[in-house]
């Protein structure tokens, strides 16, 4: 089968775990870029990447790349490209752009130039043009311009892959599913010991952990991939990939998820049900201040609430987390994501610090290894990243 080069995009800080995932599903020539990983493989691998990867946002198939020196260069080259080989006038399309270049004032203008070129190509060839659908196009075209370098790709994922399809409702600050999956991998959780999220909100960390431990791929929930609209879509090959991937059998691992808010637990429960992992997660309403560990060597992974600016309440809240961990969670491995400023108030010495972006907010993902008699430290002695 013909090999192609693809680009998988991801969140800043998750490039290495995505590269690891790609190697696991059989990708070749895996190379890390900025918020992206390049790889090669056949068409079946493209289907598998969309179906299996937990830390990718989109899988792009580059179809043309070249240098441009004016906006008109983009139009001319776009008009000469054989778009009719890829889709027909009866299909809808849209162009999504990311532009870091002085040639364009904004990415909308670049999208418009390429859209005009495609429409004019079809008109010239067939006297008709395909329609635009910016919400749910049959064919999504991705345009990336960095200075004078321009790459045009087909977006095989359409809606970002973080939209797994199980989030029926959400709390006020839900975590991206891709970030949750990435943090779980970064934490090195063994997928055997019980994982505890004591501030679970809408349940993302617990649901992603349960799916991972049980070999349930995101594609088992989400069925809608735009590559199904491509001319070369091979439904037998897709079915074969689904059969080969299967599920890896049921693991006996337990996940515990709690939250102070009854409403959030109800939301998390419904989301877990939609994801097909309800039976693996124990949900309960509980204030972390009073939560006792259920196992002897607990593994906690959570994101406490935080705002962009630290308030005195936040200082007390994070100090409470540190106290609770120190006095009730000896023998625990604890991973917490928050802002570096908030985490200082936990007052425990982290054994690892990983800088990570949550949305646009710079955060730190920190590991605390507790043992009987863990030393509390003064906030000032918490070293800088």
Closer CB to ligand SAM, 99 or 255, in the complex: 255
**Shortest distance in whole angstroms from residue 297 CB to ligand SAM:** 21
Instruction: Give the residue at shortest CB distance from ligand SAM.
Output: 201
Of residues 155 and 208, the one with the C-beta less far from ligand SAM: 208
Question: Considering only CA atoms, which of 139, 161, 160 is closest in space to residue 94?
Answer: 139
C-alpha dist (Å) from residue 354 to 167, 204, 322, 363, 383: 27, 20, 19, 8, 13
Q: Whose Cβ is closer to ligand SAM: residue 276's or residue 305's?
A: 305
In the complex with ligand SAM, the residue whose CB is nearer, 14 or 150, is: 14
> Least CB distance from residue 173 to ligand SAM, whole Å?
4
- Residue with smaller CB distance to ligand SAM, 244 or 313: 313
Let me know if 384 is exposed, middle or buried by CB neighbors in 10 A (0-12, 13-18, 19+). exposed
Question: How far apart (Å, rounded) are the C-alpha atoms in residues 320 and 347?
Answer: 10
Of 206, 301, 193, the closest CA to residue 257 belongs to 206
Query: Nearer Cβ to ligand SAM, position 27 or 272?
Result: 272
Give strand pairing partners of 197. Answer: 257
Residues that bind ligand SAM (CB under 6 A): 171, 173-175, 198-202, 204-205, 259-261, 264, 287-289, 303-305
Cβ 372 to ligand SAM, closest distance in Å?
A: 24
Q: Shortest gap between Cβ of 260 and ligand SAM (angstroms)?
A: 4
The answer to whether the beta carbons of residues 157 and 59 sit under 8 Å apart is: yes
Find, among 243, 262, 254, 346, the residue nearest to 293 by Cα. 254
Quickly count: other Cβ atoms within 10 Å of residue 235's Cβ.
Answer: 8
CB of 177 to ligand SAM, least distance (A): 8
281 contacts 203 by C-beta, under 8 angstroms? yes
Tell the smallest beta-carbon distance from residue 265 to ligand SAM (Å): 9
């Amino acid at each position: 089968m013909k090999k192609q080069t693809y680009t998988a995009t991801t969140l800043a800080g998750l490039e290495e775990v995505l590269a690891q995932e790609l190697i696991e599903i059989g990708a070749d020539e895996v190379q890390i870029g900025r918020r992206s990983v390049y790889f090669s493989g056949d068409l079946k691998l493209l289907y598998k990447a969309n179906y299996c990867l937990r830390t990718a946002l989109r899988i792009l198939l580059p179809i043309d790349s070249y240098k441009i020196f004016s906006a008109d260069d983009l139009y001319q080259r776009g008009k000469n490209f054989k778009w009719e080989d890829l889709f027909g006038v009866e299909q809808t399309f849209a162009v999504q752009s990311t532009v870091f270049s002085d040639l364009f004032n904004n990415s909308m203008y670049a999208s418009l130039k390429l859209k005009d070129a495609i429409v004019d190509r079809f008109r010239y060839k067939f006297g008709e043009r395909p329609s635009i659908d910016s919400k749910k196009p049959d064919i999504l075209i991705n345009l990336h311009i960095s200075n004078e370098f321009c790459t045009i790709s087909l977006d095989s994922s359409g809606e970002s892959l973080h939209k797994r399809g199980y989030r029926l409702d959400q709390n006020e600050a839900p975590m991206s599913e891709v970030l949750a999956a990435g943090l779980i991998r970064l934490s090195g959780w063994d997928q055997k010991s019980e994982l505890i999220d004591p501030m679970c909100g809408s349940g993302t960390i617990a649901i992603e952990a349960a799916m991972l431990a049980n070999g349930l791929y995101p594609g088992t929930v989400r069925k809608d991939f735009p590559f199904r609209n491509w001319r070369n879509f091979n439904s037998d090959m897709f079915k074969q990939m689904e059969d080969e991937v299967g599920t890896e059998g049921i693991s006996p691992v337990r996940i515990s998820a709690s939250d102070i808010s009854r409403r959030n637990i109800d939301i998390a429960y419904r989301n877990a049900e939609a994801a097909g992992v309800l039976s693996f997660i124990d949900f309960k309403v509980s204030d972390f201040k009073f939560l006792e560990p259920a196992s002897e060597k607990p593994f906690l992974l959570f994101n406490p609430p935080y705002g962009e600016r630290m308030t005195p309440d936040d200082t007390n809240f994070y100090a409470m987390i540190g106290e609770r961990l120190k006095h009730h969670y000896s023998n625990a491995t604890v991973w917490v994501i928050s802002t570096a400023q908030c985490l200082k108030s936990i007052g425990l010495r982290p054994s690892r610090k990983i800088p990570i972006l949550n949305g646009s907010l710079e955060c730190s993902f920190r590991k605390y290894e507790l043992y009987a008699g863990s030393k509390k430290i003064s906030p000032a002695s918490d070293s800088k990243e």
